[in-house]
């Protein structure tokens, strides 16, 4: 038999390690470099086919633009390639586990994307006649109803554009309620473990922030709250508390704390960033909260889009309901009415003003309602249970190797480790996180909350399968063992395999370069 | 449930490993009397088909802008967005990524933000831009707060040509701040107010929109000069970013902060959101600017890369001393803006703006030819205000019945002002055809007859 | 010339009634790479404990407080352009501002070098 030995070999030749050669382009196969659009684009074309405007006499009253708009363009295939190449330098929930604590990076169903793009929602103007948008008001009202039912509250302000904006809305409603009582209080209590947005929001609307220390077990001590209330008697407007808190724990004495706050004539603002842990398990309204924003883009799965858009409706207790901002939808016996200015107010309605132009993040509302309807009351509860189960599964898988700052007890939907286990290894939380990148994971939230040294906050969400969690736990165990055994080379200077190595943030901050500028006039093509 | 990968077997095995007999053992920190079994008042799960059917029916109750001749503006505009834009922003890597806190694996988002900032700075004629705000209205309120920080004064003078809802957002936050005040001028449909007379040494900033809410183009230069003479800042606002393709940039007219709505480029109407706030300022005010910014740097191998920078201004570090409480912004809408802008380029934007302006002139001339209808504005871009010989609300409703969405009655935003009850703001864009204009004229004639 | 310290990690060198104020080596190490310094306006009168300057690293921002009552006579403008100097020579050329004292008795409340070293060791 004659053998044909020509042609393409189908197996690698030998097992010799070959060092990777440098490439001419700097690309590494699918891993491609991409210049800035200003370096690639054309200065004298337009990538959209537009009709040539006819000649006409402008009516701009002498306001014609004299300066050039020095922006280059791409044709469509060039634009496609530029942005597809850029996209491939991003990590994404669709590509892998994204355990950023407090961020709830869960699966984003594409049904929601599809429905949000229906012309009846996407191609709808916020100020077209109300009679031509009844379906939109119906959708907002239905979503409001779901939010009130899930939280056990009696009103919801839909217009805030994101979580921090929702906080601002809730706190402004509180300020208005105090004003209606003829009171002016100047202090807001904020636990040390709070998200940075809490004190920032309180300060933004003119409150002085007083910190409440955390207890050794990571929760808030009602006695500490009582002490602060006494110290600032009659001056405290509100307490801002995240529950479940940023240590991944449910505040067991939340009802006592709520009672203390109410007895002092103050209001209880709850940061709802971690609502994903308790949907269908407890209703914040039953716990005594007066206002809570809901990060639709966390708990109800609208995509984060590389940093927004979000949506932050605020549910309100009966006490705060009259102070919800414009616009809102009023239910009458047979209809829904849009209330968008002061002349339409009924008796008792005392809105503090307006958070934004128009009605809020409609595109996010459609997605969130689709998500809720898909899950149903039963599925939402199951999702929360799975989120908490997954976090505890990770906790138990790692607790013998990594250090839990508050002991081996159950957590909510996220598990918090500190860096005690890295002591004397020479590896920091940052190094550990960067080494995770080489293993194909987005790092967890690091160095937050501030009350724990070298914090690592892991939130897997309900979207992860058991196999995915098992691999994640095994990977982290392997990393910990390396660190403990002194095999620190995979940490120092990591990541090694990402599109970029560690970036010089100091240089970026010392001499900020925030836009592209032409190298010199002669190097740019004539326009 | 199609979105939940765990099976009952998985759950049982995982609980065994955790050492619990039932899931509720993980929820024991919730006070027992506050735990609930189920939310019985809400329906159970639905299939994809059922959800799609339900929401499609709801959408069908609305008249989409594209279903009829459409001339509604007043802060949100119907433009044609190339299909490429929506395809690209739905790439998983853009859509389902978080804020780029780990720059090594989010260079895609970061580089596109850097490009976005450059585009916004160039369009507005400013030195620096941030990585976006929620929308134009909230951005404008943030601009006022920034001016207060820069000038250490707290009085904002607000033009009567500013979008009334933008003004309400500013007034709302100002009312919360000790010592802050606003001087809001009355509605100014003709663009003839004397705002210069309101500027004094206590003034922190002057807020002027051009084109105004009523469509009138405003000369910003004298306002900038007077403001600067009193150590106040000029905040130039726009709600129609396409106008920057044809009219002089606010930066070239002396504005200190330029802020506006970017929805027109790359983003759908979406019934009011999500949109994208554009925010730009002078280099010297950079550290007082709210919001995230992306900057250029190098990595450990010397390769160019991008990072979020100057974050010590932000809430997660500065907490109660932050420049703003903003955290999540409008990342994906900013990307859509940037992609559309990249397809247009400077030349394309100018061309698009010319088409818009021409259509608006054609519409204005056609409407003003109708008996009793008056166009109020002498200089405008793609939007203007008409006065009709009837209550504007009634006219707009009647037009809608006749299959034309003819604009926004000014009294919808400014009720109880007799001199505004007959006014309608009307916008025309590249999406309007001659047939649309003819249909509007015919319908308006009929309604007024 | 005597050098004093505060428990906010500032050092103060006094010559006549002029005090030169900076942050200590310990403070710069805690902050990390300094990227930005904001100085007080010359002529501004400050009371002890008032915010006088701001110093920022990539991940942290801190206020520098007036350690004593006085009037600002000079800010170290070099730091505005070269914030890295704060890391390189914290207790040398990278002083922040000079203060004309109007209550020298307040110096008695400050620590000397040995006290400060003991204080830092205790942290």
Does the distance separating the beta carbons of B311 and C60 come in below 8 Å? no
Do residues A163 and A242 share a domain?
yes
Q: Which residues of C touch B312 (CB under 8 A)?
A: 35-36, 56-61
Interchain contact, B328 vs A297, CB within 8 Å: yes
Contact C58 B287 (CB under 8 A): no
- My answer on whether B277 and B262 are in the same domain is yes
Q: How far apart are CA C6 and CA C19, in angstroms?
A: 13
CB contact under 8 A, B45 and A44: no
CATH classification of the domain holding A421 = 3.90.1150.10
Beta strand segments in A199-350, E: 208-212, 236-242, 267-271, 291-293, 314-316, 328-331, 336-339
Query: What is the domain-level CATH number for residue A327?
Result: 3.40.640.10
- pLDDT at position A216 is 87
Interface contact flag, A509 C84, Cβ < 8 Å: no
Which residues lie closer than 8 Å to B129 by C-beta, 6 or more apart?
A514, A515, B116, B117, B118, B120, B121, B278, B279, B280, B281
Residues 6+ apart with CB under 8 A from A11: none
Q: What are the φ and ψ backbone dihedral angles of A433, each rounded to 5 degrees?
A: -65, -40
Q: For A35-40, what is the mean pLDDT?
A: 97
The pLDDT tens digits of the residues spanning C104-119 come to: 889 888 999 999 999 9
Q: Closest partner residue to B317 among C35, C36, C59, by Cβ?
A: C59
In angstroms, rounded to a whole number, what is the distance separating the alpha carbons of residues C45 and A274? 46
User: Residue A114's closest CA among A309, A311, A295, A370?
Assistant: A370
Q: Rounded to whole angstroms, what are the CA distances from B242 to A52, A181, A477, B18, B248?
A: 17, 47, 54, 58, 12
- Output the pLDDT for position B318: 66
User: pLDDT confidence of A192, banded at 50, 70, 90?
Assistant: confident
Give the per-residue pLDDT at C63: 87
In a domain, A10, yes or no: no
Last residue within a domain, chosen from B313, B340, B367: B340
Residues A365 and A391 in one domain: no
* Dist. CA B110–CA A503, nearest whole Å: 12
Cα distances (angstroms) measured from residue A388 to each of A217, A462, B27, B107: 19, 8, 9, 32
CA angle (B439, B442, B445) in 5-degree steps? 145
Q: Could you tell me if A339 and A330 are in contact, meaning their C-beta atoms sit under 8 angstroms apart?
A: yes
All residues of chain C having their beta carbon less than 8 Å from the beta carbon of residue A506 are 33, 35, 57-58
Residue percentage of chain C with pLDDT more than 90? 60
Instruction: Please state which of the ranges A135-139, A515-519, B343-347, C102-106 shows the lowest mean pLDDT.
Output: C102-106
- Determine the Cα–Cα distance for residues A496 and B123; give it in Å rounded to an integer: 38
**What is the band of B316 on the pLDDT scale with cuts at 50, 70, 90?**
low
Q: Which residues of B touch A123 (CB under 8 A)?
A: 64-66, 78, 268-269
Query: What local confidence, expressed as pLDDT, does residue C11 receive?
Result: 94
Q: Is a pLDDT exceeding 60 seen at residue B436?
A: yes
A55 in a domain, yes or no? Answer: no
Q: What residues of chain A lie within 8 A of the CB of B285, using their CB?
A: none
Per-residue pLDDT band for C62 (boundaries 50, 70, 90) equals confident
Mutant choice from C35, C57, C61 vs A, greatest count of A C-beta within 10 A: C35
Task: Indicate if B372 and B318 belong to the same structural domain.
Answer: no
Is B311 an 8 Å CB contact of chain C?
yes
Q: Is the pLDDT of residue A13 over 70?
A: no
Neighboring chain A residues of C33 at a CB cutoff of 8 Å: 506, 510
Structure tokens at B371: 């008996």
State ipTM: 0.97
Distance (Å) from the alpha carbon of C87 to chain A's nearest alpha carbon: 12
Q: What percent of chain B has pLDDT over 70?
A: 98
Q: B400 and B253, same structural domain?
A: no
Tell me if B44 is assigned to some domain.
no
- Widest CA span in chain B: 83
B100 and B205 inside one domain:
yes
Nearest to C60 among B287, B317, B321 (CB): B317
Tokens of B139: 């951005």
B-C interface: how many C-beta pairs under 8 angstroms? 17
Sequential DSSP letters for A278-309:
TTTTB-GGGGT-SEEE--HHHHT----TTT--
At A527 the pLDDT is 41
Judgement on whether residues B75 and B144 belong to the same structural domain of the protein: no
A chain contacts of residue B320, beta-carbon cutoff 8 Å = 199-200, 202-203, 209
Q: Which residue has the higher pLDDT, B270 or A198?
A: B270
Task: Look up the domain containing B405 and give its range.
Answer: 68-80+349-448
Structure tokens at A385: 């249970």
Chain B residues whose CB is inside 8 A of the C57 CB are 312
Q: What is the token pair recorded at B423?
A: 């006014």
Range of the domain at A392: 384-509
Clarify whether residues B289 and B363 are in a common domain. Answer: no
Number of domains in chain A: 2
Report yes or no: B102 and B305 within 8 Å, Cβ to Cβ.
no
- What is the dihedral angle through the alpha carbons of A186, A190, A194, A199, rounded to the nearest 10 degrees? 20
pLDDT surpasses 80 at B328? no
- Among B187, B242, B247, B240, which residue's Cα sits nearest to residue B219? B247
Kindly list the strands in the beta sheet with A456-458, ordered across the sheet, starting from the edge strand earlier in the chain: A415-417, A456-458, A445-446
Residue B5, domain member (yes or no)? no
Number of domains in chain B: 2
If asked whether residues B220 and B240 sit together in one domain, one would say yes
Please measure the distance between the N-terminal and C-terminal CA atoms of chain C and give it in whole angstroms. Answer: 28
Question: How large is the greatest C-alpha to C-alpha distance in chain C, in angstroms?
Answer: 37
Residue A102 scores a pLDDT above 60 = yes
pLDDT (tens digit, 9 = 90+) per residue, B342-382? Answer: 999 999 999 999 999 999 999 999 999 999 999 999 999 99
8 A C-beta contact, residue B171 and residue B182: yes
Q: Which of B287, B312, B321 sits opposite C60 (nearest CB)?
A: B312
Per-residue pLDDT tens digits for A196-206: 888 888 988 88
Count residue pairs from A and C with Cβ separation < 8 A.
14
Which residue's structure tokens are 């302000």?
A157
Same domain for B127 and B250, yes or no, is yes
Q: At a CB cut-off of 8 Å and minimum separation 6, what does A505 contact? A: B297, B307, B309, C58
For residue B178, the model assigns a pLDDT of: 85
- CATH topology for C2-103+110-121 is OB fold (Dihydrolipoamide Acetyltransferase, E2P) (2.40.50)
Q: Is residue B25 part of a domain?
A: no
Residues from chain B contacting residue C53 (CB–CB below 8 Å): none
Q: Taking chain B, what is the end-to-end CA distance rounded to the nearest angstrom?
A: 58
pLDDT in tens, A224-253: 999 999 999 999 999 999 999 999 999 999
Three-state DSSP state, B425: strand
3-state secondary structure B225-239: HHHHHCCCEEEEEEC
Contact B317, B311 (CB under 8 A): yes
pLDDT digits (tens, 9 = 90+) for A309-359: 999 999 999 999 999 999 999 998 889 999 999 999 999 999 999 999 999
B246 and B378 both lie in a single domain: no
Angstroms from A65 CA to nearest CA on chain B: 4
Q: What does pLDDT average to over chain B?
A: 96
**pLDDT higher than 90, residue A262:** yes
Helix (H, G, I), strand (E, B) or coil at B298: strand
What per-residue confidence (pLDDT) applies to B104?
A: 97
Pairwise CA distance, residues B33 & A81, whole Å: 57
Which pLDDT band, with edges at 50, 70 and 90, does C2 fall under? confident
Rounded Cα distance, B339 and B84, in Å: 8
Angle between helices A362-398 and A466-484 (to 10 degrees): 50
Whether A161 shows a pLDDT value over 90: the answer reads: yes
Extended beta strands in B16-144, E state: 128-129
Q: Say whether pLDDT at B247 is over 90.
A: yes
B301: closest chain A residue by CA: A501
CATH number at residue B162: 3.40.640.10
**Is the domain of A322 the same as that of A399?**
no
Query: Of B340, B368, B396, which residue sits at a domain end?
Result: B340
- pTM over the 0.90 mark: yes
Distance from CA of A285 to the nearest CA of C (A): 37
Do B102 and B72 share a structural domain? no
A111 prior amide bond cis, ω within 30: no
Which tens digit of pLDDT belongs to each residue from B159-188?
A: 999 999 999 999 999 988 889 999 999 999
Can you give the pLDDT at residue A204? Answer: 85
Helix, strand, coil shares of chain C, percent, nearest 5, are: 25, 40, 35
B316–chain C nearest CA distance, Å:
10
Dist CA A450 CA A468 (whole Å): 29
Q: Report the side by side order of strands in the sheet with C61-65.
A: C34-38, C51-57, C61-65
């Amino acid at each position: 038999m004659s053998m044909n030995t020509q042609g393409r070999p189908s197996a690698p030749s030998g097992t010799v390690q070959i060092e990777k050669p440098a490439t001419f382009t700097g690309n590494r196969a699918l891993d491609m470099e991409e210049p800035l659009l200003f370096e690639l684009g054309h200065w004298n074309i337009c990538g959209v086919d537009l009709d040539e405007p006819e000649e006409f006499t402008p009516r701009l009253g002498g306001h014609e633009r004299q300066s050039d708009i020095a922006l280059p363009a791409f044709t469509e295939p060039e634009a496609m390639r530029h942005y597809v190449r850029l996209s491939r330098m991003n990590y994404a929930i669709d590509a892998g586990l994204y355990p950023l604590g407090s961020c709830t990076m869960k699966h984003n169903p594409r049904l929601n994307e599809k429905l949000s793009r229906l012309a009846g929602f996407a191609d709808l103007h916020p100020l077209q006649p109300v009679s031509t948008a009844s379906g939109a008001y119906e959708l907002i009202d239905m979503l409001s109803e779901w939010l009130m039912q899930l939280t056990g509250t009696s009103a919801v302000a839909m217009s805030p554009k994101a979580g921090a904006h929702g906080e601002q809305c809730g706190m402004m409603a509180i300020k208005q309620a105090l004003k209606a009582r003829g009171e002016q209080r100047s202090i807001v209590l904020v636990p040390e473990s709070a998200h940075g947005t809490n004190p920032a929001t309180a300060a933004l609307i003119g409150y002085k922030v007083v910190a409440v220390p955390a207890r050794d077990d990571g929760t808030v001590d009602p006695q500490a709250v009582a002490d602060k209330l006494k110290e600032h008697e009659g001056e405290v407007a509100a307490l801002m508390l995240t529950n479940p808190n940023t240590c991944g724990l449910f505040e067991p004495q939340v009802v006592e704390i709520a009672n203390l706050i109410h007895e002092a004539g103050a209001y209880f603002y709850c940061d709802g960033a971690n609502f994903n842990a308790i949907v269908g398990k407890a209703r914040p309204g039953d716990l005594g909260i007066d206002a809570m924003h809901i990060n639709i883009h966390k708990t109800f799965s609208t995509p984060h889009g590389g940093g927004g858009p979000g949506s932050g409706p605020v549910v309100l207790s009966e006490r705060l309901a009259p102070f919800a901002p414009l616009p809102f939808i009023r239910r009458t016996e047979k209809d829904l009415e849009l209330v968008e200015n002061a002349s339409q107010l009924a008796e008792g309605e005392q809105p503090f003003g307006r958070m934004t132009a128009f009605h809020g993040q409609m595109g996010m509302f459609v997605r969130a309602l689709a998500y809720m309807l898909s899950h149903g009351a039963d599925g939402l509860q199951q999702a929360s249970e799975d989120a908490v189960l997954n976090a505890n599964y990770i906790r138990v898988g790692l607790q013998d190797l990594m250090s839990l700052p508050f002991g081996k007890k159950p957590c909510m939907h996220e598990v918090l480790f500190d860096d005690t286990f890295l002591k004397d290894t020479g590896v920091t939380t940052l190094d550990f996180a960067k080494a995770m990148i080489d293993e194909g994971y987005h790092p967890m939230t690091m160095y937050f909350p501030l009350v724990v040294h070298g914090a690592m906050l892991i939130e897997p969400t309900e979207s992860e399968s058991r196999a995915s969690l098992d691999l994640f736990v095994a990977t982290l165990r392997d990393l910990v063992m390396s660190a403990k055994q002194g095999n620190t080379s995979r940490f120092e200077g990591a990541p090694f395999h990402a599109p970029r190595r560690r970036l010089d943030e100091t240089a970026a901050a010392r001499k900020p370069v925030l836009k592209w500028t032409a190298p010199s006039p002669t190097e740019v093509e004539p326009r | 449930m199609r979105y939940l990968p765990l099976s009952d077997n998985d759950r049982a095995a995982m609980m065994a490993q955790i050492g619990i007999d039932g899931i509720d053992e993980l929820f024991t920190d919730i006070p027992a009397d506050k735990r609930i079994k189920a939310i019985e008042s809400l329906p159970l799960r639905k299939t994809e088909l059922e959800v799609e059917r339900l929401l499609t029916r709801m959408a069908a109750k609305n008249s989409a802008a594209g279903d009829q001749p459409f001339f509604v503006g007043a802060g949100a505009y119907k433009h044609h967005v190339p299909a490429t834009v929506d395809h690209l922003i739905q790439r998983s890597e853009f859509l389902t990524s978080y804020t780029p806190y780990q720059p090594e694996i989010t260079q895609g988002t970061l580089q596109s933000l850097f490009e976005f900032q450059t585009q916004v700075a160039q369009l507005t004629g400013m030195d620096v831009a941030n990585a976006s705000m929620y929308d134009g209205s909230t951005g404008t309120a943030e601009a006022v707060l920034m001016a207060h920080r820069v000038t250490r004064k707290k009085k904002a003078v607000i033009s009567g040509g500013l979008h009334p809802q933008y003004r309400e957002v500013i007034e709302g936050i100002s009312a919360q701040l000790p010592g802050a005040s606003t001087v809001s001028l009355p509605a100014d449909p003709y663009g003839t107010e004397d705002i210069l007379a309101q500027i004094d040494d206590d003034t922190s900033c002057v807020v002027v929109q051009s084109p105004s809410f009523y469509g009138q183009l405003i000369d910003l230069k004298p306002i900038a000069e007077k403001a600067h003479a009193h150590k106040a800042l000029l905040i130039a606002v726009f709600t129609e970013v396409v106008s920057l393709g044809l009219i002089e940039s606010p930066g070239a007219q002396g504005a200190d902060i330029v802020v506006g709505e970017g929805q027109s480029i790359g983003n759908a109407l979406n019934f009011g959101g999500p949109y994208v706030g554009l925010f730009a300022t002078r280099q010297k005010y950079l550290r007082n600017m709210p919001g995230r910014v992306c900057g250029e740097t190098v990595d450990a191998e010397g390769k160019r890369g991008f990072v979020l920078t100057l974050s010590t201004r932000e809430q997660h570090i500065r907490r109660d001393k932050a420049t703003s409480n903003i955290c999540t912004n409008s990342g994906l809408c900013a990307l859509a803006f940037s992609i559309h802008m990249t397809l247009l380029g400077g030349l394309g934007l100018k061309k698009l703006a010319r088409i818009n302006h021409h259509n608006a002139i054609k519409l204005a001339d056609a409407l003003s030819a109708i008996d009793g209808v008056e166009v109020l504005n002498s200089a405008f871009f793609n939007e203007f205000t008409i006065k009709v010989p009837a209550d504007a609300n009634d006219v707009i409703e009647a037009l809608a019945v006749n299959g034309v969405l003819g604009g926004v009655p000014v009294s919808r935003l400014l009720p109880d002002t007799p001199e505004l009850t007959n006014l309608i703001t009307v916008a025309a864009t590249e999406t309007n055809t001659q047939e649309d204009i003819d249909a509007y004229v015919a319908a308006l004639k009929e309604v007024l007859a | 010339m005597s050098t004093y310290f505060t428990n906010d990690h500032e050092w103060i060198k006094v010559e006549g009634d002029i005090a030169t104020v900076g942050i200590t080596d310990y403070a710069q190490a805690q902050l990390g790479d300094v990227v930005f310094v904001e100085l007080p306006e010359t002529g501004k009168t400050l009371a002890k404990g008032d915010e006088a300057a701001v110093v920022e690293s990539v991940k942290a921002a801190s206020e520098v407080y007036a350690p004593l009552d006085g009037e600002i006579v000079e800010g170290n403008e070099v730091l505005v352009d070269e914030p890295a100097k704060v890391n390189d020579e914290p207790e040398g050329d990278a002083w922040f501002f000079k203060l004309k004292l109007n209550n020298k008795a307040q110096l008695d409340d400050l620590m000397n070098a040995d006290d400060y070293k003991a204080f830092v060791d205790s942290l």
